Amino acid sequence: MNITLIAHDRKKDEIVNFAVAYEHVFEKHKLYATGTTGARIMEQTSLQVHRFLSGPLGGDQQIGALVAQDEMDLIIFLRDPLMAQPHEPDIIALLRLCDVHGIPVATNVATAELLVRALDRGDFAWRELVHKYKPGAAEA
Residue 56 carries which DSSP code?
G
Predicted pLDDT at 136: 63
pLDDT of residue 93: 93
Where do the domains of the chain lie, and which CATH numbers do they carry? 2-132 (3.40.50.1380)
Q: Smallest Cα–Cα separation from 9: which of 45, 43, 51, 37?
A: 37
Alpha carbons 126 and 81: distance in angstroms, whole number: 31
- Whole-number pLDDT of residue 90: 85
Spot the catalytic one: 60, 80, 90, 123: 60
- Model's pTM, two decimal places? 0.89
Would residue 90 show up in a list of annotated catalytic residues for this protein?
no
The pLDDT assigned to 140 comes to 42
Largest CA distance in the chain: 48
Helix segments in the chain, DSSP class H: 12-21, 23-26, 35-44, 59-68, 88-101, 109-121, 126-132
Phi, psi for residue 104 in degrees, rounded to 5: -60, 135
**pLDDT averaged over consecutive 10-residue blocks of the chain (140 residues)?**
95 98 97 96 98 90 94 95 81 94 96 97 82 60
- Is 76 within 8 Å of 18 (Cβ atoms)? yes
**CA 106 to CA 102: how far, in whole Å?**
13
